[in-house]
């Protein structure tokens, strides 16, 4: 009998959901998703920061949506390096778009010493890169760890459940503010949806597959 390959021995219950395989089009897709994410942050930032909905709080202080989307990118990547590059690009462009927007917002409100948009861009470009690169590198490093959640075994299971645990914790904290101070409803609802989405897309298929095996 032939020995099974390392890839088969490390097969994960969610390997069937591989969507990102490392081709240029997939990296372009993750970069585009990061740009859209940054635009979403900029759009929601213009909403009121107080009141029942407190939408701006989602743009500045809530991590659930980013944990959810980045975890999907990582756990649906075929290889570890694909997960690292894809998540790094996603976060880099999201932060880049966000900081460029903040700079433009400040410039057009007269809050910078620059007289022209070109001068502002010239003096701010390196700062934009410094703002965007560290979180991208950090995310890529964490992706290398989280990708282990694609594998079977105890460690893989723990890694898969960690994002869900964080989402549950943050959602609980936000709901506490909703019911006690009547605020932060928008970020609470988005976190609630992300928590449910992660369970349905990542955890539930594994639990169902294990149930089928027992039967």
Identify whether the C-beta of residue 41 lies closer than 8 Å to the C-beta of residue 177.
Answer: no
In a structure prediction context, what are the per-residue pLDDT tens digits for the chain, which is 215 residues long? 444 444 444 444 454 578 899 899 999 999 999 999 999 999 999 998 899 999 999 999 999 999 999 999 999 999 999 999 999 999 999 999 999 999 999 999 999 999 999 999 999 999 999 999 999 999 999 999 999 999 888 999 999 999 999 999 999 999 999 999 999 999 999 999 999 999 999 999 888 876 666 65
Taking the whole predicted model, whether its pTM rises above 0.85 is answered as yes
Nearest to 46, CA basis, from 137, 110, 109:
109
Start-to-end CA distance of the chain, whole Å, equals 28
Q: What is the pLDDT of residue 65?
A: 97
Nearest to 17, CA basis, from 67, 68, 65, 74:
74
């Amino acid at each position: 009998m032939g020995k099974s390959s390392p890839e088969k021995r490390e097969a994960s219950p969610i390997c069937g959901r591989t969507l990102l395989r490392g081709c240029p089009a997939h990296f372009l897709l993750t970069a585009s998703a990061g740009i859209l994410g940054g635009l979403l942050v900029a759009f929601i930032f213009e909403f009121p920061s107080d009141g029942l909905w407190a939408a701006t709080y989602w743009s500045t202080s809530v991590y659930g949506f980013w944990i959810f989307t980045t975890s999907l990118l990582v756990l649906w990547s075929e290889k570890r390096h694909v997960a690292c590059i894809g998540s790094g690009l996603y976060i880099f462009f999201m932060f880049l778009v966000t900081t460029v927007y903040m700079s433009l917002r400040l410039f057009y409100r007269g809050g910078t010493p620059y007289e022209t948009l070109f001068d502002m861009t010239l003096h701010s470009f390196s700062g934009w890169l410094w703002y965007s690169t560290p979180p991208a590198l950090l995310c890529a490093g964490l992706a290398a760890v989280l990708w282990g959640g694609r594998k079977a075994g105890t460690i893989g299971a723990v890694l898969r459940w960690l994002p869900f645990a964080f989402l549950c914790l943050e959602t609980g904290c936000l709901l506490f503010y909703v019911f006690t101070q009547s605020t932060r409803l928008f970020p609470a609802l988005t976190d609630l949806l992300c928590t449910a989405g992660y369970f349905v897309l990542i955890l539930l298929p594994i639990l169902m597959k294990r149930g089928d095996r027992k039967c």
